[in-house]
Structure 1
């Protein structure tokens, strides 16, 4: 992404920084059977603040994103289309298009598509406070 700075403000010279052209095909996401799709829109190096990544993901009907834990980041899932079951710390929650889910730091979470259409969602992954502080301290060591 190209930035111009004016008065301390970043002016983005490109509006679209990513798209869904050629998403990755993922087999066995987080240990589950089956196939899903995934695309990273932006990573930490492209973002300002304590962001880890912004991603897009999709599960076909009956698809599963296996349960897993993040120890240094938390995630927000925004359901774009479809219907599913979000599993957080062994509890099941029905989710559908328009829902926003917080997978807090250290929670065990997974997602199943229980609908008849593809389940798609945006993932906003943010660094936890300890990791953010450590990275900030590390970066300050190398600033002149």
Structure 2
């Protein structure tokens, strides 16, 4: 199966995980399309000043790939500067958030994998 997320219809999500602003979001692949422990692949655009609010996952790993832009990723209360090319691993039961601190859009891919 092949999908082009750049040409897909974007959904608007307001205050994602109680974050700031409105994100543009595409679910590229969902759980019911996948046979592995991969739960989803998402493509998200964060306009300047928007954020994915602080939240905690369960027994899974979530990977953020920063495609464009830069910002701040909080992992377990520690703030890290992130930029294009960075890959961030959110470990099981970890607490995290992401804020676009730049003047341009931030574009990310997010993968979530369940741990058996």
Cα distance in structure 1, aligned partners of 2:5 and 2:38: 19
Cα RMSD after superposing both structures: 1.2
1:62 aligns with 2:70: no
**For the Cα contact (< 8 Å) 1:76–1:100, is it kept in 2?**
yes
Q: In the TM superposition, what whole-angstrom CA distance separates every residue of 1:51-77 from its partner, at most 9, and x where no partner exists?
A: 100111111111111010111322000
Q: Which residue of 2 aligns with 1:53?
A: 40
- What TM-score does the superposition give when structure 2 sets the normalisation length? 0.93
1:17 aligns with 2:3: yes
**For the Cα contact (< 8 Å) 2:65–2:87, is it kept in 1?**
yes
Distance 1:18 1:46, change over 3 A: farther
Instruction: Give secondary structure in 1 for the equivalent of 2:5.
Output: coil
**For the Cα contact (< 8 Å) 1:18–1:42, is it kept in 2?**
no
Instruction: Give secondary structure in 2 for the equivalent of 1:84.
Output: strand
Higher relative contact order (CA 8 A, sep 6+): 2
Name segments (4+ residues, structure 1) moved above 6 Å: none
More helix by share: 1
Structure of greater Rg: 1
Q: Which residue of 1 aligns with 2:26?
A: 39
More strand by share: 2
Q: In the TM superposition, what whole-angstrom CA distance separates every residue of 1:88-117 from its partner, at most 9, and x where no partner exists?
A: 111000000000000111011000001111
How do 1:1-144 residues align onto structure 2 when only pairs under 5 Å count? 1=1, 16-20=2-6, 21-129=8-116
Q: How many aligned residue pairs are there?
A: 115
Unpaired runs of at least 5, structure 2:
none
Cα distance in structure 2, aligned partners of 1:62 and 1:30: 15
